[in-house]
Amino acid sequence: MSESDQGYSAVAEAGSVLERRSLWLRAWLELRKAPVSAWIGLVIIVSYVIVAVFAPWIAPYGEAEVHPQPYAPWGGDFIFGTDQIGRDVFTRLIYGARNTVGIAFVTTIIAFLMGGGLALAAAVRGGWIDQVLSRFVDVLMAIPNLIFALMLLSMFGSSLINIIMIIAILDSTRVFRLTRAVAMNVVVMDYVEAARLRGESIGWVMRREILPNILPPLVAEFGLRFCFVFLTIAALSFLGVGIQPPTADWGSMVRENAGLIQFAQYDIKAAITPLLPAGAIALLTVGVNFVVDWFLHKTSGLRDEH
Amino acid sequence: MSTDTDDSVLLEIRDLRIDGFSDERWHEIIKGVDLTLRRGQVMGLIGESGAGKSTLGLAAMGFARPGCRLTSGSIRFDGVELMDAPESEKRKLWGSRICYVAQSAAASFNPAHRLIEQTTEAALSHGLQSGAEAQAAARELYRAMQLPNPDTIGDRYPHQVSGGQLQRAMTAMAMASKPDLIIFDEPTTALDVTTQVGVLAAMRSVVEQFNTAAIYITHDLAVVAQMADVIKVLRFGETMEDAPTREMLSAPKHPYTKSLWSVRALQKEAEKSDDIVLDVRSVDAAYGSSKVLHDVSVRVPRGKTVAVVGESGSGKSTTARVITGLLPPSAGKVFFNGQALPAALRDRSVEQLRQIQMIYQSADTAMNPRHTVGDIIGRPLEFYHGLRGAAKQKRVLELLQLIELDGNFIDRLPGELSGGQKQRICIARALAAEPDVIICDEVTSALDQIVQEGILKLLLRLQKELGVTYVFITHDIAVVKAISDEIVVMLEGRVVQQDIKDHVLSPPQPEYTRRLLASVPEMDPDWLTRLLEEQADVVARADGD
């Protein structure tokens, strides 16, 4: 672009052409600017994922392997001792990462596919479809989540599929509300109208025109929603209707070993045992929130003034 | 304190440099600009978007907007150096001695407070006046700004007055503390021509009355000619030319200034044709229960341009929505090549959709920001003509060539294009469908004049080469002169007149057509004065009868 050029040329018009950077380079640039909290969050998430994926190789014993000594103390063969029927607590913590995190992840994905898909359809089609879906979601949301989940689980039984589907459906209502709200802002754009005028199908409008433009808030919501699902599953397990033994799960581990807390005055280590899975839940939730905070801040266009 | 005859230097900017931050780097966006403004003087600041007009205007207040920094130079306001003044010092000046009027009054008013509360806010917070005094002063200003019911209009909320009134109230707000300097940043750009005239007249008289100095930022040369004593032309952050208004208008020196001036000279020979391609027959249409079109008939001849003109709210865009099928009419039909089109979009065949394409006013929102130029132009090729892979790529390149852009643009995103380039991509997208009719809805009104000219030339060339028909919706009469064969004048959802261009633009005309044409600013510094006198005459004569 030459500035001395006095004639008019469309090509030379001043547009701000950004440097072409690869996805990895862009990600690295963003990460370099990321605050410490985001880094902490990322490290936490990555280590949980590694533990979950490589659980069988990391864990010293099998998931449901019973040892002769129940309530073994810390140290020796069992780093964190054993539980009430003699299973290694450390091993079960590691497998718990796989089960609790994995199930929460699958559940969140299903919730997003259902809630997000229906919300996009409601936003694009509008009219009675939107009304019916929105009112149905309102009805579901009117009932407290945990109580509703407990009721449904006692009706259908606590199988893994039931847990995943029930929590996914309940959480998809929240996803529906958010997706519909952000999609509504995009639906009114001229480019969506242009696509309709072209005669595009509703699926194309949803996937190609709207979805890419609402992705940032949805990704942030995915992080938060994952935390809620994760906590709900842990809570249900704690109440005994969640993931069933012998599958290792942090929520049920807290419940099974809760009684040990009373022995704090005799053996402080034993009393900490039920707090370990609780801590694992808390740490991951905090980590995910750190990352989501950073991501939201970055994509919402808020800039710190340097 | 200033007196009415005082013409000492009020604002002096020397060798000002400002950096802007984008794409991880600092770029110089104002490159050593000098500016001298005397008391009571109005300076017009013109240039394309991106020329640094607004940045310079804000810098005159000692303010750098987020993402900008003042690097060097000096800004002296009435003897005070603002360049290194502390924030608290500048805050004392802002809102009391220097005021700012933004482009969009609607976005600048807080919708939750009454107008008068917001008008008096600055004067009260600076402790210049008591509440009652400030309110009385505000009413006086409403009167000076020629607002209707000046005594009570302040009790309304911003949404209860029209856009033109809001812009006047905004100026009144800026005048409330009797500042020495007002910065107007494109204050009438968002208004209709007929509304604009009144606002300009009110602004000019108030500025004269209080001997306020002003910097008037705009890209409309005709407007600046009415307002400014001196004009400064900016481009790429540098001063191109500085001269008193009359001198600049009659004898522009710099080649760039000359090119700005020549824009409005574009003309087209109107031709009559009876080969009708699109025929809108006595259409009524309504949004919900409010009826917006009454018995509208428009005939569009093949290969010609029909311009639809009128103020906002006259039903221009609604007519376009009826033609495209977005808004099914409640009565009447649209005929295409002699056949009635189904009223609703979903009943039309893909072939029928292909034949009528649309280009939008705001290219920013008309293109999906996440799609590349190649995707945007390629989609209609794929959708209507089944082109894929290399064939599609080849056709996209041809289309880019046709709109005077090159192949480098194919993988750019809309955010990386200038306004004019975006609009060109939209034109290419419409052309990709190979339509018979293209509806252009205010396609040039968001663009700078020089870019407008480029787009209009392109549209004319495409019509000559490809024989496309345009329905051109606009409120800009200069554009109408440049491009149309026939003109449809609309008012309040009715067609006032449809005829070939020369008949509409020359007398005898219906009363409304005459008033609309008279409101279009001309490049003559006396135009506004003359128009106001004429209107006063008409009123006086009417009173005399």
- For chain B, domains (ranges, CATH) are 9-110+182-265 (3.40.50.300), 276-506 (3.40.50.300)
Residue with token string 């079960």 = A92
A5, closest residue in chain B (CA to CA): B256
Q: What pLDDT shows up at residue A306?
A: 36
Residues of B in contact with A213 (CB under 8 A): 368-370
| Residue A29 sits at the chain B interface (C-beta within 8 Å) | yes
Residues of A in contact with B266 (CB under 8 A): none
Cα B451 to Cα A14, B78, B216, B254, B274: the distances in Å are 11, 38, 21, 18, 33
Q: What pLDDT shows up at residue A130?
A: 93
Residues of A in contact with B236 (CB under 8 A): 3, 14
Edge-to-edge strand list for the sheet holding B230-235: B98-101, B181-185, B213-218, B42-46, B230-235, B238-244
Segment A95-143, tens digit of pLDDT: 888 888 899 999 999 999 999 999 999 999 888 999 999 999 999 999 9
CB–CB of A10 and B406 under 8 A?
Answer: no
What are the residue ranges spanned by the domains of chain A? 35-299
Candidates B67, B324, B420; nearest CB to A10: B420
CATH number for domain A35-299, candidates 1.20.120.790, 3.60.15.10, 1.10.3720.10, 3.90.226.10 = 1.10.3720.10
Q: What pLDDT shows up at residue A112?
A: 94
Q: What pLDDT shows up at residue B263?
A: 59
Quick one: tokens of B90?
């500048």
Segment A31-63, tens digit of pLDDT: 888 888 899 999 999 999 999 888 888 888 877
A197, closest residue in chain B (CA to CA): B353
Name the residue type at position B415: G
Is residue A160's pLDDT more than 70? yes
Average pLDDT, chain A: 84
Q: Is B31 helix (H, G, I), strand (E, B) or coil?
A: strand
| Chain B: closest CA distance from residue A72 (Å) | 58
CB–CB of B66 and A303 under 8 A?
Answer: yes
Q: What pLDDT shows up at residue A10?
A: 65
B-contacting residues in A 9-28 (Cβ below 8 Å): 9-11, 13-19
Quick one: tokens of A207?
């996937």
Report the distance separating Cα B188 and Cα B199, nearest Å: 7
Residues of A in contact with B458 (CB under 8 A): 10
Residues of A in contact with B370 (CB under 8 A): 212-213
Q: What pLDDT shows up at residue B264?
A: 62
Q: What pLDDT shows up at residue B499?
A: 85
CB–CB of B371 and A208 under 8 A?
Answer: yes
Q: What pLDDT shows up at residue A41?
A: 92
Q: Is B28 helix (H, G, I), strand (E, B) or coil?
A: strand
Q: Taking the CB of residue B193, how many other CB atoms lie within 10 A of it? A: 19
| Residue A301 sits at the chain B interface (C-beta within 8 Å) | no
CB–CB of A8 and B450 under 8 A?
Answer: yes
Q: What pLDDT shows up at residue A139?
A: 93
Q: What pLDDT shows up at residue A4?
A: 37
Return phi, psi of residue B279, to 5°. -130, 110
Q: A305: pLDDT confidence band, cut at 50, 70 and 90?
A: very low
CB–CB of B66 and A199 under 8 A?
Answer: no
- Average pLDDT on A176-197 reads 91
Cis peptide before A246 (omega within 30 of 0): yes
Query: Cβ(A137)–Cβ(A177) under 8 Å?
Result: yes
Report the distance separating Cα B456 and Cα B461, nearest Å: 9
Report the distance separating Cα A116 and Cα A173, nearest Å: 9
Report the distance separating Cα A183 and Cα A214, nearest Å: 7
Q: What pLDDT shows up at residue B515?
A: 81
CB pairs under 8 A between A and B: 92
pLDDT by position in tens, chain B (length 545): 444 456 788 888 888 888 887 666 788 888 888 888 888 888 988 877 767 788 888 888 888 877 788 888 888 888 888 888 888 888 888 878 888 888 777 778 888 888 888 888 887 887 777 888 888 888 888 887 778 888 888 888 888 887 778 888 888 888 887 888 889 888 877 677 777 787 888 888 888 888 888 998 887 777 888 888 888 888 888 888 888 888 887 788 888 777 776 656 667 777 777 888 889 988 898 887 888 888 999 999 998 899 998 877 788 888 998 999 888 898 888 999 888 889 888 889 989 999 999 998 888 888 988 888 999 999 999 999 988 889 999 999 999 988 888 888 888 888 878 778 888 899 999 999 999 999 998 888 777 777 888 888 888 888 888 889 999 998 777 788 888 889 998 888 888 888 888 888 877 778 888 888 877 777 777 778 888 787 777 666 655 54
CB–CB of B348 and A199 under 8 A?
Answer: yes
Mutation target for A interface from B368, B375, B383: give the one with most A CBs within 10 A: B368
Q: What pLDDT shows up at residue B2?
A: 42
CB–CB of A8 and B350 under 8 A?
Answer: no
What DSSP element (H or E) covers B437? Answer: strand B437-441
- Average pLDDT on A148-162 reads 90
Quick one: tokens of B81?
């150096």
Is residue A301's pLDDT more than 70? no
CB–CB of A13 and B421 under 8 A?
Answer: yes
Residues of B in contact with A16 (CB under 8 A): 22-23, 415-416
Tell me the angle at which helices B255-262 and B449-466 cross, rounded to the nearest 10 degrees.
50
Instruction: Give, as one character, the DSSP assignment of residue B367.
Output: S
Instruction: Give, as one character, the DSSP assignment of residue B29.
Output: E
Instruction: Give, as one character, the DSSP assignment of residue A18.
Output: P
Q: What pLDDT shows up at residue A302?
A: 47
Residues of B in contact with A190 (CB under 8 A): 360, 362, 365-366
Report the distance separating Cα A247 and Cα B468, nearest Å: 70
Q: What pLDDT shows up at residue B377?
A: 92
Q: A273: pLDDT confidence band, cut at 50, 70 and 90?
A: confident
